[in-house]
Amino acid sequence: MDSEFFLGLVKIHRMTSSRRHELYVHLVAKNGSNYTAHYDDFQISDENSGYALKLVKIFKAYSKGDIKLYEDMKFSTYDRDNDQHKDNCASLNKFGWWYNDCDICERSGLPSNLICGVHVKELTMMIRPI
């Protein structure tokens, strides 16, 4: 893909509920920093459950550039506010995500597990069946 593309939560739910998939996430911050996450088992719940994120990370220990997505969070969009913040995080950040109080992830492997409160330039999610 050469441009922005979103497969859709319904299709991702159907794919990940029928067999196991791994997930790779690559985030580029506006300051140029790169962060990654790799999960051995990834699933999205159905619409009735808010397309909640289910993750199992067995692949490797976290390193300095790794991020940790917020498990069990429901997907928030401008018209469906499922996050933990008083405002709508999808509207504030201008994209839908599994937000926790408007943060999209945690940075692991850093002192005190700093929050991944970076300004996102690019975010790529790739899945494949196991």
- pLDDT per residue rounded down to tens, the chain (130 residues): 566 677 889 999 999 999 999 998 888 888 888 888 888 888 999 999 999 998 876 555 445 567 778 888 899 999 999 988 898 988 888 888 888 878 777 765 544 444 566 677 888 888 999 8
Select from 61, 89, 65 the least CA-distant residue to 75. 89
In 40-119, beta strands by DSSP E? 41-44, 53-56, 67-69, 105-107
Note whether 76 and 97 are within 8 A (CB): yes
Select from 33, 7, 38 the least CA-distant residue to 110. 33
Q: Write down the pLDDT at residue 63.
A: 52
Q: Write down the pLDDT at residue 68.
A: 78
- Between the alpha carbon of residue 26 and those of residues 23, 38, 59, 67, 84, the distances in Å are 10, 9, 16, 9, 24
Q: Which residues contact 34 (CB under 8 A, 6 or more apart)?
A: 26, 27, 28, 65
Select from 97, 70, 108, 101 the least CA-distant residue to 86. 101
The C-alpha atoms of residue 43 and residue 2 are separated, in whole angstroms, by 25
In the chain, beta strands by DSSP E? 21-29, 34-39, 41-44, 53-56, 67-69, 105-107, 120-129
